[in-house]
A and B are shown apart, each in its own frame.
Chain A
Amino acid sequence: MTAIVDIRDLTKTYGSGHQALKGVSLQIAQGEILALLGPNGAGKTTMISVICGITNPTSGTVTVAGHDIIRDFRAARATIGLVPQEVALEPFANVADTVAYTRGLFGKAPAPDRIEAILRNLSLWDKRNAQVNELSGGMKRRVLIAKALSHEPRVLFLDEPTAGVDVELRKDMWRIVGELREGGVTIILTTHYIEEAEAIADRVGVINHGQLLLVEDKATLMARMGRKEMLIELQEPVSALPEALSGYSLERNGAGDVLTYAYDSQAARTGITRLLSDLNAAGLNVRDVQTRQSSLEEIFVGLVKEDA
């Protein structure tokens, strides 16, 4: 894997003594979408702040596109775009000017065509001459995204970009993220919306108490850690499980007409065939069978609980 972002043993201890990052190491491949999940105060924003130059690291190294963020900060930062968590914008500037301002800060010559394309793509073109303080919350979020894209970054950090926004913007956001990925942009996303990570990420990282608990391909993670369950609906309810089925991890619901069988979908033998056969032998007739996989949210909650 060619890492466009390479984080090694990154630590951050604030003046108060609070250790926000405890030796985080992470490699992010070019063109991938990585979702960082973690509860409030887990260290997600601190990690992004360090990489972007907003906060000083205490120890460890970070390179972006091969450039060290301290020694070669100009080259490193020039490749990075950041959409911050807070909606922070100059209230009296107009939309087009504030986007052009960010482009200038990143050392790029004025490019009205480029700014126009970004504003059109984010449905902001009609608002280009409006003052930022006249915009709705959702529109302001779009302006933040436009600013982050104004200098054509190769790595884009989205720090909870869809927190508190409407469904339309969230879907727009996912569309834009998809388009950027197609253009080769690497995206690191922090989010509280697990379905967001589930929908758009290639890999998922879980961070808690300043430590990276895991980073794994999303599909692999769900397959490896996802508990799969089979719901067996019986034709007649049972008051107790027959002795012949005591070897299975079966749970009976309150009414006694549904049995839940938990199994490892990755195991060589799931035991499903034998269970169905034993059910039949025990005289229990099956009306219906359903399977369901635990969501990323359940996996996340499980991991964070273990770490608590």
Chain B
Amino acid sequence: MNWQAIRAIYTSEMGRTVRTPLQSLVSPVISTSLYFVVFGSAIGNRIQQVEGIEYGAFIVPGLIMLTIMMQSVSNASFGIYFPKFIGTFYELLSAPITYLEIVIGFVGAAATKSLVIGLIILATAAFFVELRIAHPVLMLSFLVLTCVTFALLGFIIGIVARNFEQLQLVPLLVVTPLVFLGGSFYSVAMLPPFWQTVTHFNPVLYLISGFRWSFYEVSDVGVGVSLAAIALFLFACLAVTWWLFRTGYRIKS
């Protein structure tokens, strides 16, 4: 294992976050606070409780998931696309490093950033609502697994994208709708039966549901199913990443 290379990529990527604290850290916190104001206060006044939990507290896991999924995809896709765009990708290809080490460096950094943001949002949420975390270890496991999985998805997007438009396409047209319609701000039980069935085809539902269970022990699907879903998603992303590097698709001619 070329640990020095992993360290170099990881610290370089983290360095970008440190150079841009407003964009990397402050911006998601402000966005989340606004969500609390809009959903927690404005809508929360009309929806007192969901499944026995105060609405403001109920949406916290969904808000964290929403942000870390978006941030993981965006950080990782930009992280690997930027060297391709500016032409420094040759450094990675000509260095004595394996594809696995490249993935660990980039995905590890993107996942770390998202994890930090997730924890900051959690801390921010504590100022707005009374939080209870029933299963902290499981909560952290869901958080880490989601960060890594979506960072891998972002990495794939960054490799495949030919331009900045394509880089934004999947996050905007696929990830955002799935996250919003995956029960971030509501329980699936609140939907009409037809839409409940439709929502069960949304993979993000399982991640948010499991994550929420680790807080309040309430969920739309069983926690075991949630864990299986995220494991499956992680495996799928790993398989695609492996294929990309094996074939050199959009990497190496």
Which residues of A come within 8 Å of B, CB atoms? 14-15, 52-56, 73-78, 80, 82, 84, 86, 88-93, 97, 100-109, 147
Contact = CB atoms under 8 A, between A and B. Distances in A.
Interface stretch (B91-99, B154-162, B175-183, B211-219): B91-99
A73 B12 CA distance: 24
11 contacts: A52-B90, A54-B94, A77-B96, A84-B90, A88-B87, A90-B83, A102-B91, A103-B8, A104-B7, A107-B4, A147-B91
Interface of B: 2, 4-5, 7-9, 11-12, 15-16, 19, 82-83, 86-88, 90-98, 248, 252-253
Nearest to A72: B96
Contacts of A54: 90, 93-94, 252
B94 A80 contact: yes
B106 to A, nearest CB: 12
A268 B8 CA distance: 62
Contacts of B253: 14-15, 55-56
Nearest to B98: A74
A100 B4 CA distance: 11
Given A56-B248, A101-B8, A104-B8, A77 B86 contact: no
B88 A106 contact: no
Contacts of A108: 4
A109 B4 contact: yes
Contacts of A84: 87, 90
Contact of B94 (A77, A91, A103, A109): A77
A56 B2 contact: no
> Which of B16, B82, B90, B94 has the largest count of A CB atoms less than 10 A from its CB?
B94
Contacts of B93: 52-54
Nearest to A100: B8
Given A77-B95, A90-B83, A105-B9, 6 more contacts: A53-B94, A54-B90, A74-B98, A82-B90, A105-B8, A106-B4
A14 B96 CA distance: 24
Nearest to A52: B94
A-B interface, 6 closest residue pairs, ranked by CB to CB distance from nearest: A104-B8, A88-B87, A105-B95, A74-B96, A77-B96, A52-B94
B12 to A, nearest CB: 5
Nearest to B97: A105
Contacts of A104: 4-5, 7-9, 11
Nearest to B88: A88
> Which of B7, B97, B98 has the largest count of A CB atoms less than 10 A from its CB?
B97
A86 B83 CA distance: 13
B46 to A, nearest CB: 46
Nearest to B10: A104
A279 B79 CA distance: 77
A89 B16 CA distance: 14
A90 B12 CA distance: 10
A75 B4 CA distance: 15
Contacts of B11: 104
Nearest to A92: B19
A296 to B, nearest CB: 29
Contacts of B248: 56
